[in-house]
Amino acid sequence: MTEAVTRVLVADDQTVVREGIVMLLGLLPGIEVVGAAGDGEEAVALVERYHPDVVLMDLRMPRCDGVEATRRIRAAHPETEVVVLTTYADDDSLFPALQAGARGYLTKDAGAEEIARVVADVRAGAAGLSPQVQLRLLERLSEQPGRSGPAAERPVARPRELPDGLTVREAEVLALIAEGLSNAEIAQRLFVSQATVKTHINNLFAKTAVRDRAQAVAYAFRHGITGTQQ
């Protein structure tokens, strides 16, 4: 059986970095580089032209930075996943990029194995985030104005009445998304098929008006729909 090919676009304003990543991707099986952009504006234009499956997006670029380019790409082409490229995993721009629709991140010194894993993860519908970044993301999302003390350090429990007409099962799926589980892992946890999981996700996305998993995580923690119920 022929392995499915993932079409990737690389966007980075540093020529050496951009060409190095393109060269590295060219050595990975199942990945085809369809284009390379030197700034955010060019990245948006090339996505419009080539419709890649995944964009590896530098955060800091001229004309249009990675956060804004990610927002525009995800709005116009929701089928295209974005993985941000950053020099440091604690880059303050990482979280705005995730809120803009990015599904994962890679540091620029990532090796071939890590790049392949993250690209495969986001293509499978999972978040390409390290456990440390997931924890920091969830901590940020759980911080709300007017809350202080120990209670502000942990997510709130699920409310008795679910918002936006969510069913209990849809809320369970949403809580597992917030834990960073992929569709396959959610199906295994709930003892249902992946097709059923996809149906629940489509329904809850429609009800909550979120566009992607990053926004779903934010929604889950904003409404206390998490796995840490009390």
- What local confidence, expressed as pLDDT, does residue 142 receive? 58
Cα-flanking dihedrals φ and ψ of residue 176, to 5°?
-75, -35
**Rounded distance, CA 31 to CA 56, Å?**
12
**Rounded distance, CA 158 to CA 176, Å?**
13
pLDDT tens, the chain, 230 aa long? 456 899 999 999 999 999 999 999 999 999 999 999 999 999 999 999 999 999 999 988 988 999 999 999 999 999 999 999 888 666 677 778 888 888 888 888 888 888 888 898 888 877 676 655 665 666 666 554 444 443 334 343 333 478 888 888 888 899 899 888 898 888 888 888 888 899 999 999 999 999 888 889 888 888 888 764 43
3-state helix, strand, coil in the chain (%, to 5): 50, 15, 35
- What local confidence, expressed as pLDDT, does residue 8 receive? 96
CA quadruple 52, 54, 60, 65: dihedral sign: positive
- What local confidence, expressed as pLDDT, does residue 89 receive? 64
Cα-flanking dihedrals φ and ψ of residue 221, to 5°?
-75, -30
Whether 166 contacts 207, CB under 8 Å: yes
- What local confidence, expressed as pLDDT, does residue 21 receive? 92
Take residue 165 and report the two structure tokens written for it: 């007409």
Q: Which residues pair with 85 in a beta bridge?
A: 58, 106
Take residue 18 and report the two structure tokens written for it: 């951009």
Whether 74 contacts 212, CB under 8 Å: yes
